[in-house]
Amino acid sequence: MKIKFFIPIILLCLAACQNALSPGDSEPNQILSMEEQAQLNLIKFFDLLNSGKYEEVVPLYGGSYEVLQSYNPTVDPNNKVDLLQSACEINGFMCLKVDQVERLKKPSTNEFIYQVTFINPAGNLFELGPCCGATEEEMPPVSQFEIRVTCSENHSCQVLDLPPYVP
């Protein structure tokens, strides 16, 4: 009986130790492999976007801000927090919680490509339907999205892709 009680506590302690280092810390994460850290940061990235914690998202995003800058010409192009907030709250990017993550490819030692599904606000699987007058036959719904993550030598991992976009 005592063992059953201690297993959740040990798992909780391991999670707390892992979370003690943020993605921007200079010390490598000794608990997780690079792939595990990449997947964890991917999930954290989308959870933080979904929660509106844009300042905490900035260190987890290593992709281009160019499209966000073009969608938001009145926002300072160097203000990454406001650009991410506009993406989620104004521009149509679907900042949803992750449902499932599966690694598809590992193009290099420090890059991973994941297939990700998301949960919509109603708690169902998110599907991106046909766009711009197309039918489902012409443009079948999509529920799986490829998301790239890259990591540095010290296991600091960043997501390279923005959330799915609904025009």
Sign of the C-alpha dihedral computed for residues 1, 10, 51 and 39 taken in this order: negative
Please tell me which residue, 9 or 139, carries the higher pLDDT value: 139
> Where does the chain have alpha helices with state H?
2-19, 34-51, 54-57, 66-71, 80-89
Per-residue burial over 103-136, b if 16 or more Cβ lie within 10 Å, else e, is eeeeeeebbbebebbbeeeeeeebebeeeeeeee
Instruction: Give me the pLDDT at residue 2, please.
Output: 41
3-state SS assignment for residue 150: strand
The residue type found at 105 is K
As a whole-number percent, the residues of the chain with pLDDT over 90 amount to 67
Q: What is the spatial distance between Cα 143 and Cα 152, in angstroms, rounded to a whole number?
A: 29
Domains and CATH numbers, the chain: 32-159 (3.10.450)
pTM of the model: 0.78
Question: CA-based angle 81:85:89, to the nearest 5?
Answer: 175
Sheet holding 111-119, edge to edge: 97-108, 111-119, 145-151, 157-159
Q: How confident is the model at residue 13 (pLDDT cuts 50, 70, 90)?
A: very low
Judge whether residue 28 has pLDDT over 70. Answer: no
Q: Who has greater pLDDT, 108 or 7?
A: 108
> Between 136 and 22, whose confidence is greater?
136
CA distances from 119 to 47, 114, 131, 134, 159 (A): 11, 16, 20, 24, 19
Confidence of residue 137 (pLDDT cuts 50, 70, 90): confident
Asked if the model's pLDDT at residue 7 lies above 80, the reply is no
Given a cut of 60, whether residue 33 has pLDDT beyond it is yes
Average confidence (pLDDT) over 136-140: 86
Averaged pLDDT of the chain: 85
CA atoms of 61 and 157, how far apart (whole Å): 9
- Predicted local distance difference test score (pLDDT) of residue 116: 98
For residues 1-11, average pLDDT = 38
